[in-house]
Amino acid sequence: MPTPNLERLTPMAVMVLALLREGDMHPYEMVRLMRARRDERLLAITNGTLYHTVGRLQRAELVDEVGIDREGNRPERTTYTLTDAGRDALLGWLRRELASIDRPTDFRIALAEAHNLERPEVVAHLRTRRTALDEAHAQHRDGLRGARDKAVPEQVLVEFERQEVLLDAELRWLDSLLSRLEAHSFPWGPTAFEDTDRYLAQRKAAQQ
């Protein structure tokens, strides 16, 4: 099977693939888990968008049906599983976005799902990102200095100033995260929390 086109994966598709890496689920459970985890801070969550996304992923052979169940008066629920191609697409997208500084919205999704990659790989991709951030920060800092030396009006520099401050703050945050990751200050990995009482209770509640 050819490598999936990562450009066609939407943030919602990535979130769905990541959920299915935790285990087989039906879309209703996916929606409830995303809302319980406050994922609406990252993207808009609607039932229609999620069901449409699952359908697209199935047609692309990134997910597959594994069963249909119905309990009592509930509507039928189709359960989906992650295919090997889906897993590869998820991990490929995360690797790309963790290292890139061009799509800040996608980076937030990638960071939220970075635990699907092993610790050394995450560190490597974030170090690539840090190099690019450092270069962008230097360009903004030097550009601001040069503009002020030329007496460019301050009112047209406020956006450049804001971006320089944000880049500086992100570099300091990223250095802190990398230090904690490399020091193994907290558990990491796709299975690091799956046996905790909190996680198991959250999954059970979402299945109701």
The model's pLDDT over 60-80, given as tens digits with 9 standing for 90+, comes to: 999 999 988 866 566 788 999
pLDDT in the model for residue 1: 43
Task: Supply the pTM of this predicted model.
Answer: 0.90
Let me know whether 82 and 56 are in one domain. Answer: yes
Let me know whether 94 and 36 are in one domain. Answer: yes
Let me know whether 49 and 87 are in one domain. Answer: yes
Q: How far is CA 144 from CA 24, 192, 197, in A?
A: 51, 44, 51
Let me know whether 124 and 163 are in one domain. Answer: yes
By the 8 A CB rule, do 18 and 90 touch?
Answer: yes
The CATH number assigned to the domain holding 49 equals 1.10.10.10
Q: How many domains does the chain have?
A: 2
Let me know whether 43 and 73 are in one domain. Answer: yes
CA angle 103, 109, 124 (to 5 degrees): 75
pLDDT in the model for residue 137: 97
Let me know whether 196 and 178 are in one domain. Answer: no
Let me know whether 138 and 159 are in one domain. Answer: yes
> What would the pLDDT profile of 13-36 be if each residue is shown by its tens digit?
999 999 999 999 999 999 999 999
Q: Specify if 149 maps to a domain.
A: yes
Let me know whether 91 and 194 are in one domain. Answer: yes
Pick the range with the lowest mean pLDDT from 74-88, 103-117, 191-205: 191-205
Q: Specify if 110 maps to a domain.
A: no
Q: Specify if 154 maps to a domain.
A: yes
Q: Specify if 11 maps to a domain.
A: yes
42 has a pLDDT exceeding 70: yes
The domain in which residue 131 lies consists of 118-182
Let me know whether 87 and 146 are in one domain. Answer: no
